[in-house]
Structure 1
Amino acid sequence: MTDHLTRARDLVPRFRERAATWDRDRRYCHENVADLAEAGLMGMSIPAAYGGPGLSLKEIVPVVEAIAGACTLTGRIVVEGNMGALSAVMTYGTEAQKALAAELVLAGDKPAICITEPGAGSDATAMTTRATPVPGGWRLDGIKHWITGGGVSKLHLVFAQTKDGIRGFLTLPGEGLKVARLERTMGLCGMPEAELRFENHFVPDEMMIPNASFGALIDAYNTQRVGAGTIALGVAAEAADRARDYLDRREQFDRPLSEFQGLQWMLADMDTELMAARLLLHDAAASADPFPDRTKAARAKLMASETAVRVVDRALQMFGARGYGGEEPLERMYRDVRMFTIGGGTAQVLRNQIAAHVLGRKLPQRRQVVDAPKGADMAAE
C-alpha cells in the first residue's frame, strides 16, 4: 500500500458524508478538491522533476477506486487530475508546457480535454473546430460539446483541424473562449458538462503540442479509459458492500435476508464480476509504457463499466423500495455509474476496437461508396 492510498482512505469518510450535497445542489466539489490537493492526490503521475511524486498508473488505480466508492464526482476529478490530458502533456509537451500543467494540477486544477463536438462524437476525426495560423500563434474557431469541467477547468487541451491534420493546443480561459451552456445530466450532477465556443480565440505558438499527431495524443486517452473503468468499479464495489451489510441486517420471515440462497447467488455473481473487472483494470494499468495497451484498456473499461451498471442495479434491487428512495445512496450511484458505458469511448466503440484486435485488421466504420453497375436494382439498398 502506498502512502497516497493511505491518505485517500483517510479522506473517504469525509467525502462519503459530502457526496449527496454535490448531487443535490449540482455544485462542483471545491472543498473536496482542496482536500485532494493538500493530500497530494492531484498530480500523482507528475514526475519529481516537475514537483510530483511520479507514481505509476498501477499505483494510482487503487487510489481512484477508494475515492470513487465514497464520491463518484471526486473520483472523476482524481482521474482527470492524473491521467488523460495531463498524460498527453507530460509525455509530448515542451518543458514550459509540462511546467505549466504541473503547476496548475498540483494546485487542484482538473484539466479539460476538448475533443467532442455536436457533429463529432465517436467519429472524432469529423471535428470542424479549426486552428488558423496568425502572427505569433493560432486562432481557434469552433464549438466543443460535452466538455467535462467546462467553466471550472483552467487548463484546456483542445483538438482542432489544421492544414497538417488534427493537432493539440493548450489554452486557458480568456477572450474568445466562453461557456455557451451547461447540460443538465442524469448523474454526476456536480460536474459541469459544457458547450464551449471558441471565437477568434488566440493561442500562442508555444502552446501547440509539438511533434505529436492526433493518433499519438489520443493514445494518452487510454489512461483515461482505465481511470473511468476504475471509477465505475469503485462505485459498484461500494454498492456491493452496502448490499452485503444490508442483507445481514434486514430480516424477513424471521431470518436475515443473507440466508436466502437466491440473494446469496446474486452476491456471488457480483463479487466474481467485480474481481474480474478489477484484474482487467490492473492488467491494463500495468501495461502502461507510458500509456496502457489500447486493447487492454478497451477490454478493461468495457468490462468494468458494464459490470458496474449490473452490480449497482442488483444492489438497489436488494434494498427494495429503500434503495429506490433517497435514504440510501443507491439511486445516486445508479445514476452516476450509467455514464461510464458512454463517456470516454462507448461500449459499442470499445467492442469494435477489441474485435479489430481479434481479427487482426481494422474494419472500416465509414460507409464505402461504390458505383453500382448499369441496370442494377437499387431497391435493395
Structure 2
Amino acid sequence: MNPVQLKLSDEQRALVGAVRDLSHSKDFRGNSIKYLDGTYPWENLDALAEIGILGMSIPEEYGGSNLPVFDTALVVEEVAKGCYVTAMALMGMLGVQVRVISTYAPESMKRDILPKVAAGKVHLAVCMTEPHAGTDVPNYKTNTVIKDTHAVVNGVKTLISRANEAEWFVVFTRINGSPGRHGIGCVLVNRNYPGFEVTARYHTMGGEYLAEIQFNNVEVPLENVILREGGMKQLMSAFNTQRCLNPSISLGMAEAAFEEAIKYVRERTIRGQAVANFQGIQWKLAEMYRDIEAGRALLYQAALSANPFPDPYQAGVAKMFVNEMAIRVANEALQVHGGYGFTDDYPISRIYRGVRYGTLGGGATEALKDLVGKKLVNDFDPVDGFLSMGNF
C-alpha cells in the first residue's frame, strides 16, 4: 500500500528547489559558522531577495507574491537546514511584522514600506516581550498616548531580534492606558525617531543578538498607530503565522541534524565495520525519522489551515511538538557523533545550539499548553468525544 502523501504543485517544487540550492551552497551552509559571533547575514538575505523570497508574505500590488503560509513554511524549513541565523533573519521578513503591516496598516504606509521589504532594502522587527511580562501580553506596560496631531510611545521591550538592523519596528502597546487585553494595540516606530534607543544587547547561544529597546517619549504620526484599543485579537491572529514559521526552523534543523547523524555513522568505523550497521544506532535513526515525520504532518496541517492566518490551536499543537521534537533529535544526533559532536568542527554542535531557541520564542511551550488545554476542556463533547480526524 502506498502511503498518502501531500502533493506539492510544480510551482511549489520549483520554489523549494531554488531555496534548497541556496541553502546547500557554500554561502549558506558553508559559511553558517561565521554567524555564530552575531554577524548579521546580509548577503544571504540579498540572495533570497533576488529570487523573490523576501516578498512571499507581501501582496502583489506592493511588489510581493502573496504566497500562502504553507509555502512560506516550506521555504523557512529549507533555509534552516543550511543556516539557523539566516532562517531567523528570514522569519523577521516573512512573519508577524510584515503580516501586520500588509493587513492592517494605512495604504500610504503599505506603499512606502512593503516594496522595500520585498527588495531587501528595509528590514523589520516586532517588539512584544517586556522585562516583566514575556508572553503575558494583556499585562504589557508600554503605552501609547493618542494626541490631536501625533502619538507618544513610552516603555521598554526586551529580547528583540534585529534591533540593530531593522528600520521599522511593529510595537505591541497599550493605547491611552486602557487596561487589560482590550487595551492592546499596535504602533509602527522608525529607529530614527527621537527617543528610540537600544539600551542592551544579548548574544545568544544560537549566534544572533537579542536586544533591549527603550521608547522615551517617542513621537509618531497618527497614521503609525496601526491598531488602537481592541486590536489584540487581530494582532494575535497575525501572530499565529509566527507559530508556524518558528517550528519550521525547528523542523529544518531537525532534518539537518538527522542528515549529519546518518553521514557520520556511515563514515565512522568501529572494529572494522561502519557504526551505521549497529542495531542500537539504527534504532536511534528510526526514532529520529519517526519524530521528524510526525512533526512535519502536524506543522503542515497547521500551515494549511491559514485563511489568511493559521488556526491558533493547530498552530499551537504543531509548535509544541516540533520544537520539542527538534531538541530530542538534535540531542540524539550529537550523541551518535560521540565526543566529536561536542566540537565546533562538526555542524551538529552549531545545530544543537540553534535548535534550543524554538520552545522560547513565538509563544513558550508552557503558554501554548495552557491555550490548547483550556480549549480541550471547554470544547469536549461528553457524548461524541473528538472527531477521529483530530480537528478542534
TM-score after normalising by structure 2: 0.88
Matched-pair contact (CA < 8 Å) for 1:159–1:166: yes
1:111 deviates by: 1.6
Which 5+ residue runs of structure 2 have no aligned equivalent? 1-11, 380-392
- Alignment deviations for residues 89-118 of structure 1 (CA, whole Å, 9 cap, x no partner): 212222123223312311324421111111
Counterpart residue identity of residue 144, structure 1: K
SS in 2 for 1:320: helix
* 1:176 partnered with 2:195: yes
Q: Which moved more, 1:280-289 or 1:2-11?
A: 2-11
CA-atom RMSD, angstroms?
1.5
Q: Partner of 2:9 in structure 1? A: none
Matched-pair contact (CA < 8 Å) for 1:273–1:307: yes
SS in 2 for 1:120: coil
Q: Partners of 1:210 and 1:161 in 2: how far apart?
A: 10
Q: Partner of 1:236 in structure 2? A: 254
- Alignment deviations for residues 47-83 of structure 1 (CA, whole Å, 9 cap, x no partner): 1111111111111211111110000011112222112
Matched-pair contact (CA < 8 Å) for 2:253–2:351: yes
Alignment of structure 1 residues 280-299 onto 2, 5 Å: 280-299=298-317
- Alignment deviations for residues 313-343 of structure 1 (CA, whole Å, 9 cap, x no partner): 0000000011111110111111111011111
Instruction: Name segments (4+ residues, structure 1) moved above 3 Å.
Output: none
- Alignment deviations for residues 255-299 of structure 1 (CA, whole Å, 9 cap, x no partner): 111111111111001001000111111101100011000001001
Q: Partners of 1:68 and 1:259 in 2: how far apart?
A: 29
Matched-pair contact (CA < 8 Å) for 1:86–1:101: no
Q: Partners of 1:354 and 1:265 in 2: how far apart?
A: 32
Q: Partners of 1:19 and 1:154 in 2: how far apart?
A: 24
Q: Partner of 1:186 in structure 2? A: 205
Q: 1:199 aligns with which of 209, 216, 227?
A: 216
Q: 2:174 aligns with which of 151, 161, 167?
A: 161
Which 5+ residue runs of structure 1 have no aligned equivalent? 362-381
State the identity as a percent: 34
Q: Partner of 1:40 in structure 2? A: 52
Q: Partner of 1:62 in structure 2? A: 74
Q: 1:252 aligns with which of 270, 273, 291?
A: 270
Q: Partners of 2:148 and 2:103 in 1: how far apart?
A: 27
SS in 2 for 1:182: strand
Q: Partner of 1:265 in structure 2? A: 283
Q: 1:5 aligns with which of 10, 16, 24?
A: 16
Q: Partners of 1:293 and 1:101 in 2: how far apart?
A: 28
Q: Partners of 1:304 and 1:236 in 2: how far apart?
A: 9
Q: Partner of 1:90 in structure 2? A: 102
1:309 deviates by: 0.3
Q: Number of aligned residue pairs: give it.
A: 359
Alignment of structure 1 residues 70-219 onto 2, 5 Å: 70-108=82-120, 109-163=122-176, 164=178, 165-174=183-192, 175-187=194-206, 189=207, 191-210=208-227, 213-219=231-237
Q: Partners of 1:250 and 1:305 in 2: how far apart?
A: 29
Q: Partners of 1:327 and 1:314 in 2: how far apart?
A: 18
Counterpart residue identity of residue 251, structure 2: L
Q: Partner of 2:383 in structure 1? A: none
SS in 2 for 1:339: coil
Q: 2:336 aligns with which of 296, 303, 318?
A: 318
Q: Partners of 1:96 and 1:233 in 2: how far apart?
A: 37
- Alignment deviations for residues 201-254 of structure 1 (CA, whole Å, 9 cap, x no partner): 111001111466112111111101100000011011011011011111111021
Q: Partners of 1:6 and 1:137 in 2: how far apart?
A: 47
Matched-pair contact (CA < 8 Å) for 1:308–1:337: yes
Q: Partners of 1:8 and 1:335 in 2: how far apart?
A: 23
TM-score after normalising by structure 1: 0.91
